[in-house]
Amino acid sequence: MTLLQPTLHSCEHRRLGGRKKTSFFFFVFFFFLLLSTGVRAKDTISSVHQHELSADFYAKTCPQVDNIVGSVTSQRHKTLPASGPATIRLFFHDCFVQGCDGSILLEAGAEGKVERQMFENRNLGTEGFDTVNLAKAAVEKICPGLVSCADILAIAARDFVHLAGGPYYAVKKGRKDSKYSPSLAGLPTIVRVNLPRANSTITELIALFAAKGLTTTDLVALSGAHTIGFSHCDQFVSRLYSGSTIEAPAMEPRLLQALRLQCPRTGGNADVVVPLDVVTPFEFDNEYYEGIGKGLGVLATDQALGLDRRTETIVREMATDKGKFFAAFEAGMERLGGIRVKKGKKGKSEGIVEGI
């Protein structure tokens, strides 16, 4: 295990080389020109990895923390909209690997690679990392050494959901930042087995979410964040040319045609990204679920949610009732944000590394 020393105003701690800025070559929306415009699995919640947090954790020490972070996220939403989906995805990746501890934000020093440099995290947008660092710097000016990067990430993710038209919910706080980076020998496996893949089966996804204390409804609801999500071609290009299978169900023919033009079988631009909700890609709504019912799911896993008997009913409910989707999403985000929260000497408190 390698001890990483934090800097006061940054959540990255250490830096190894420069970062490549993600280029967002957005999907050409000529697709719109081509369009004329179940038994549910039992939901059980495991409390094994859940820890008590509080919405008023900083009520006495930094009561304005939500407003401070909000001043950063609102500006980023206006000037760099890609910051929203990038930050929400960052929050998910942080919580699913080792818990919600800010470890995804760490950059490596001479000791070696860290979580964010693993293959599965290669497409995480730098807009998310930059947003958290800007918010951390703003918080430090008012409340120095008090608020964890993990909490700032959770608040920022909520803000971007709301700024895009989604629900505003109270973020429970009290997370501690990770003070360790796992040894490089085990890190690739830790990351790989704890994150869903674009070609995961529904059975695999349900099992992965259950291992985190999340239900099948949480799986479907949290997948709804794809309503403002984007994906690189490599996450679904094989589906465009392999034909329909159970694992890669059929895609709406006109969408398939449009995606093939953007994502050739070989030799495509690795920086091209396409929206996962091709109808309202910048609005946090339930159109993502409606699209699944029409064969408009871009990722095979998204489309499969609407076909598997354990999830199809939930998808239909959320497609027809935005309020039900929002309520389920809020509940899912609260449970997601409580996964394996660091306590005591397992983490560093208020931005300061504790003694070993």
Distances (CA, A) of 110 to 115, 183, 312: 15, 13, 48
How far is residue 292 CA from its own chain's centroid?
20
237 touches 288 (CB < 8 A): no
Q: Which of 13, 77, 93, 226 is catalytic?
A: 93
191 touches 246 (CB < 8 A): no
- Among candidate residues 96, 93, 91, the one with its CA nearest the CA of residue 132: 91
Task: Compute the distance between CA of residue 186 and CA of residue 203 in angstroms, rounded to an integer.
Answer: 25
Report the 10 Å Cβ neighbour count for 313: 15
162 belongs to the catalytic site: no
Distances (CA, A) of 139 to 132, 176, 353: 10, 16, 18
The residues that bridge with 44 in the sheet, in sequence order, are none
- Among candidate residues 229, 227, 218, the one with its CA nearest the CA of residue 327: 218
- Among candidate residues 226, 213, 195, the one with its CA nearest the CA of residue 88: 226
Check the CA dihedral 232-32-28-72 and report its sign.
Answer: negative
Residues known to be catalytic: 93
